[in-house]
Structure 1
Amino acid sequence: MPKMISRPATAVLCCTPTGILKQKWCAWASWYAMPMRRAVTTSSTDFCSMSFSIVYIHGFNSSPQSHKAQQFQRWIAAQHPEITLHIPALKPFPLDAIKQLEDLTALAPQNTGFIGSSLGGFYAVYLAEKFQARAVLINPAVRPFDSLAQYLGENKNFHTQESYVLTQQHVDDLRALYVAAPTHPEHLLLLTQTGDETLNFREAVTHFQRSPAVIEYGGDHAFQHAEKHFQHMLSFLQQTTRL
C-alpha cells in the first residue's frame, strides 16, 4: 500500500500509481527500484553478452537532437558502451514512423527495450505489445488521436524545420495503434511529472494504473532531471532478457 505523507516529497514507495488520484500531489517510486538493483549487480555480465538494444522514440515534432535523447545517448556511451542504442529520426506520419521502428526492432526482437517520450511513449506501448517487450514511458501521450486533432494542417518540426501536413487520416492511423488494455502492464514503466504543461499526467496515471510508476511532483513535459532515472530505466528494460 502507498505510504501516506504530509507534504510534497521526491518519492514514496508504491506498488502501483493508483492512489495518486486520491492524494493529488504525492510522488511515487515503485517497487521496481529494489529488484532492478539486484539484477544489475548479479547479472550484468549476462546482459552484456546478450548485446542488449534500446530504441529511444522521440515525441511529436521532435528529433534525436532533443535534450533528453542527447542526455541518454551520452550516458549510454559513457556508462554502458556494450548496449546498442537507436534514436531514429521518425517520419512525421504515424504508419511511416511505426514502420521505421518495427524494422529496427526486427533486428533483435527478443532483446530490445523501448523508451518513449510523449508521442513516443504511445508508440512504445504499441511496440511493447506487439513484440512482448518492455518499455519506459516518459510523460506519455495516452490518446494522441484526441490531442493532436488541434494540429491538423501544416506543421513544422521544432528541430529540423521540416514542414508537413497532418491530415485526419493520420489522426485515424494513430487511433488504430491504440492499446486500450496492455496485456502485460507490468512490462511498462511510467515516468511522469505533475507539472506537465502539455499533457494531463492524471490520464497516464489512470491508463497505466496497473504498471509500476515514478510520479514526481512539479517538473514539466520535458521531464526535468530525467538523468537521475537512467540507471533504473535501463535495469527495468534489461529484465526483458529474463522473460
Structure 2
Amino acid sequence: MPNLLYLHGFNSSSRSAKAEVLRDYLNDQRPDWQLIAPQLSSTPAACWAQLTRLVAEQKIRACVGSSLGGFFATLLSEKVAIPSVLVNPAVTPAMLLSQALGEHTNPYTGETYILNQTHIEELVQLQPSSISVERYLVLMTSGDEVLDYRQAENFYRGARQCVVPGGDHLFTMFEQYLPEMFSFYDLYHADEQTDTG
C-alpha cells in the first residue's frame, strides 16, 4: 500500500483540519493509500533532518504540503522524485518568518520554542534554486491573507496550478480538491511506469 505524507504548516499540527479531512477521505474513498502525518519539528534544520530520516525508513509515494509544509514538500519532491500537492505553499519562508522572530507556542501541542536568526539562515540554506515542475499540483487562493499567491504562481510556473478566487490561507475548500489531487498522483505514477517501461 503506497504511503501519502502530509506536512502541516508553521505552528500547526498533524491533527489540523486539513489532515483530518484527508484522513477521512482516505478511509472512505481511497483505502488503497495509507496516510503518514508526522508532527513536524518546530525549527527548520531539525524538521528537514526528521523528514530525511522518515523518507529513508518509509516508502513515500506522494506528498501533500500546506504553507510551510509546502516548502518542505518541495524539498522532498526534489530529493526523492515524488509528486506533491502544495496548498498555499510558502515559497520563501525565510523572508516570511524573519518577521516572526521570538517566542511561539504551538496552539495544538502546547510546545513553546524560540524562533531566532539561526533558524532563518537554515531556511535560506534549504531554499531550492530550481524544481522539476511536472512533480507539482499547486492549489492557491487569491485571498490568502498570509502569503501572496503570485509568488507561488511564478515559482511553480509550468506546474499544474489552480488559483481559487477569494478564499483564505487555510484553504477551507480543501476537501473539494481531493479527487483532483488523487487523479494527479495516479496519473503521475502511471506516466512514471510508462517512462520506465
Range of TM-score over shorter length? over 0.9
Q: CA deviation at 1:52?
A: 1.4
Poorly superposed stretches of 4+, deviation over 4 Å: none
Q: Which residue pairs with 1:93 in the alignment?
A: 43
Q: Which residue pairs with 2:181 in the alignment?
A: 233
Q: Per chain length, whose mean CA-contact separation is higher, i.e. which structure has more relative contact order (CA < 8 Å, sep 6+)? A: 1
Q: Which residue pairs with 2:138 in the alignment?
A: 190
Q: Deviations over 1:160-202 (max 9, x none)?
A: 12100111111111111111210x1011111000010000111
Pair 1:58-2:8 in alignment: yes
Q: CA deviation at 1:108?
A: 4.4
Q: Which residue pairs with 2:195 in the alignment?
A: none
5+ residue gaps, structure 1, are 1-50
Q: Which residue pairs with 1:38 in the alignment?
A: none
**Aligned counterparts of 2:133 and 2:27: Cα–Cα separation in 1:** 29
**Aligned counterparts of 1:101 and 1:235: Cα–Cα separation in 2:** 25
Equivalent residues in 2 for 1:116-155 (5 A)? 116-155=65-104
Q: CA deviation at 1:95?
A: 1.6
Structure with higher Rg: it is: 1
TM (norm. structure 1) is 0.75
CA RMSD of aligned residues (A): 1.3
**Aligned counterparts of 1:81 and 1:130: Cα–Cα separation in 2:** 27
Identical aligned residues as a percent: 37
TM (norm. structure 2) is 0.92
Pair 1:211-2:159 in alignment: yes
**Aligned counterparts of 1:162 and 1:169: Cα–Cα separation in 2:** 19
5+ residue gaps, structure 2, are 193-197
